[in-house]
Chain A
């Protein structure tokens, strides 16, 4: 018998042996196959199911929110936080400006001229009068 015929015969016997595997083994293999197919990445299943030439990120949303919507929803809390911080900073600036304006107005309306506040002797006079 030549080599080719010999390997063909061995192969035939091996093939036959796979047909006689116990049910326990074939059942387990079937389960493993099913579990493996469930592990095929989701995006790949969608891409392979879609007709050729239609592989794009469409926002049609036939099967749930699209990628864009998902990205927007996940970025929403961050946007709200940033907007809140800007609002707080603006409000704080306005408060400070109001306080400064009140002080300026009080000084301008006072009977004492502004240059008096810069005078050291006037400061000592105020201090002593207060005591």
Chain B
């Protein structure tokens, strides 16, 4: 049984990666934060009595189910929005918006690293993330669980609800697609 300290330690170690997973899937920071928070709540409420070794797999499964639910709800919401917006008159509010206003300012600290290196690393990071985001959902999930969460094939298959063979196929395809996409953009890791 996981103690409170063990659960806290697990959540602290997994929360950032979980956030990234959710962002890759839903492409919205706020929604991703809500999903991670809900996953944490569910884990704490329902599965805190499980052994610490089982927590990563359970957390991944919960998060994955919540992401699926999110897309289901979004689908229904989009249907209603489309229906309602077709009934409302068009507004030209969006035409006044300056896209530059929405750009986030990058962090300005970290003087230890040279600005050029930092910028280059940031660019590579952004490109990798963008390419991961472009992967088909199943490939992305398998790739992240297997190579980022350090889950083995069996655990990944259990979390994704598919066979081990499918996991291997998804991972292989994701690897090749990612490598090809990065090469096409002139990035060598």
CB distance from A54 to the nearest CB of B (A): 14
Q: Which residues of B contact A129 (CB under 8 A)?
A: none
Question: Assuming the A-B contacts A7-B175, A9-B189, A17-B20, are A36 and B33 also in contact, with contact meaning beta carbons closer than 8 angstroms in the complex?
Answer: no
Q: Which segment of A37-45, A74-82, A101-109 sits at the interface?
A: A37-45
Flag whether B107 is at the interface (Cβ < 8 A).
Answer: yes
B124 touches A37 (CB 8 A): no
Count contacts on B: residues with CB < 8 A to the other chain: 40
Measured between alpha carbons, how far is A44 from B33 in the docked complex, in Å?
27
A28 touches B33 (CB 8 A): yes
Measured between alpha carbons, how far is A18 from B149 in the docked complex, in Å?
13
Q: Which residues of A contact B16 (CB under 8 A)?
A: 18, 21, 26, 29
A14 touches B8 (CB 8 A): no
Partner of B189, one of A1, A18, A32, A48: A1
Flag whether A25 is at the interface (Cβ < 8 A).
Answer: yes
Partner of B45, one of A22, A28, A29, A39: A39
Interface SS of chain B: helix, strand, loop or mixed? helix
Measured between alpha carbons, how far is A49 from B175 in the docked complex, in Å?
45
* Mask: chain B, 96-130; 1 = CB below 8 Å from A; 0 = not: 00000000100100000000000001101100110
Count contacts on A: residues with CB < 8 A to the other chain: 32
Partner of B43, one of A20, A36, A45: A36
Flag whether B69 is at the interface (Cβ < 8 A).
Answer: no
B44 touches A37 (CB 8 A): yes
Partner of A10, one of B4, B41, B104, B178: B178
Which among A18, A35, A36, A49 has the highest number of chain B CB atoms within 10 Å?
A36
B15 touches A44 (CB 8 A): no
14 additional A-B pairs beyond A29-B16, A32-B15, A41-B48, beta carbons within 8 Å, are A1-B189, A6-B179, A14-B128, A16-B121, A17-B129, A18-B19, A18-B20, A32-B41, A33-B8, A37-B44, A39-B44, A39-B45, A40-B4, A48-B4
Query: Which residues of A are in contact with B by a Cβ distance under 8 Å?
Result: 1, 3, 6-7, 9-11, 13-14, 16-18, 20-22, 25-26, 28-29, 32-33, 35-37, 39-41, 44-45, 47-49
